[in-house]
Every structure is written in structure tokens, then in C-alpha cells.
Amino acid sequence: MAIRKIVKYGDPVLRRRCQPVKSIDREVRKLIGDMFETMYDAPGVGLAANQVGVSLALAVIDIQAEGRQSPIVLINPRITELSGQLKEEEGCLSIPGFLAPIKRFASAKVSALNEKGLPVVITGEGLLARALQHETDHLNGKLYVDHLSFVKRVRMFSLIKRSARSERWNA
């Protein structure tokens, strides 16, 4: 396994809809391992394949509830149910140094394949629900800042652009 470079805001790969995974071959298994390592190293609670520059519909999540690892692999995920509402600070490894309160559904159900190619259904509340929505958004070329109001989004984008010229952003 290896830590991969996380693609930052401004890279067009983050805005492209990811292609479905057709077969879970060696390369995809290696990608999954690398994505977990990259996510734990960051550290973060979720990472989408396009965040490491690979335009495939694949994401990893681990909210580490009670400090324990509970890795989730989502291949070709599809949200099947959403309910409730929740507004909490959200951030993204591709937009380092920023957080913003984002309205999300409080509960989410996602159908996907796991790393063995078996169908799984993941149901999440709270932080896990948020991570499920955030990562499936990534795979559709969407970022959490897109959920902000127009005025807030414009302000944030100008701050992000300024930050993107700094060294830390490109590290």
C-alpha cells in the first residue's frame, strides 16, 4: 500500500462524473488499499477515487466510531433513501483549511458493491450519513461547497482561490 497525493480543489478531475467500476481487478484492489492508507494518514473520514486522481466510482469511508476502525468500501454506490435533516460543519481533504456548516439528510441508505464485488447496503445516521452523502457527491463531480448559498459560495471560492496559491495547499 502507498499514500497517494490528494488532488486539490481546482483540478478538473474533481468535477467529472466518475466512471462505474467494471471489474474489481488487482489494480482496483491496490487502489482501495492505497485510498485507505491515504485517508488514515490525512487524516480524514472518507475519500473518493477522484480525490487521488482516478475517475472511478469508488470511495472509502471510516468514521472510526469510538476510536475503532470500521472501514467501508463503496463501489458504484447509489443512494436509495434519505431522511431527516442535519446541519454541521463539513470539510474536505481536497479543500484543506476550510470548514463550513452544510445542510444534509440525517439518515442515508446506500447500495453498493464491496471490495469482493458483493452487493452491500450501508445505512448511516449523523456523521456516517454525512460521509455517505459527501462521498457519493464526489463521485458525481460535486463538492460540499456546492451546497452553500450563492453568496456564501462566492465568498468561499475567493478565499479558496487565495489559499490555492499558497505552498501548504500544494503540499
Rama region for 117: left / alpha / beta (φ>0; ψ in -120 to 50; rest): left
27 is catalytic: no
Using the minimum distance from each CB to Ni ion, give the nearer residue, 45 or 112.
Answer: 45
Least distance to Ni ion, CB of residue 138, Å:
6
Size of the site for Ni ion (CB under 5 A): 1
7 binds Ni ion (CB under 5 A): no
Q: Helix or strand or coil: residue 78?
A: strand
> Of 37, 125, 135, 167, which one is the catalytic site residue?
135
Helix, strand or coil for residue 125? strand
Cell numbers linked to 123:
445505512
Strand pairing report for 100-104 and 107-113: unpaired
C-beta closer to Ni ion: residue 92 or 113: 92
- In the bound complex, what is the minimum distance in angstroms from residue 118's beta carbon to Ni ion? 26
Interface pattern 85-114 for Ni ion (x via CB under 5 A): -------x----------------------
Measured distance CA(129)–CA(137) in Å, rounded: 12
- Closest approach of Cβ 4 to Ni ion, in Å? 15
Q: What is the DSSP string of 52-63?
A: GT--BSEEEE--
CA 10 from centroid of its chain's CA atoms: 16
Closer CB to Ni ion, 21 or 134, in the complex = 134
Contact 48, 32 (CB under 8 A): no
**19-78 binders of Ni ion (CB under 5 A):** none
Nearer to Ni ion, 77 or 117 (CB): 77
Q: For the chain, state the CA radius of gyration.
A: 15
* Residues tagged active-site: 135
Which residues contribute to the site for Ni ion (CB under 5 A)?
Answer: 92
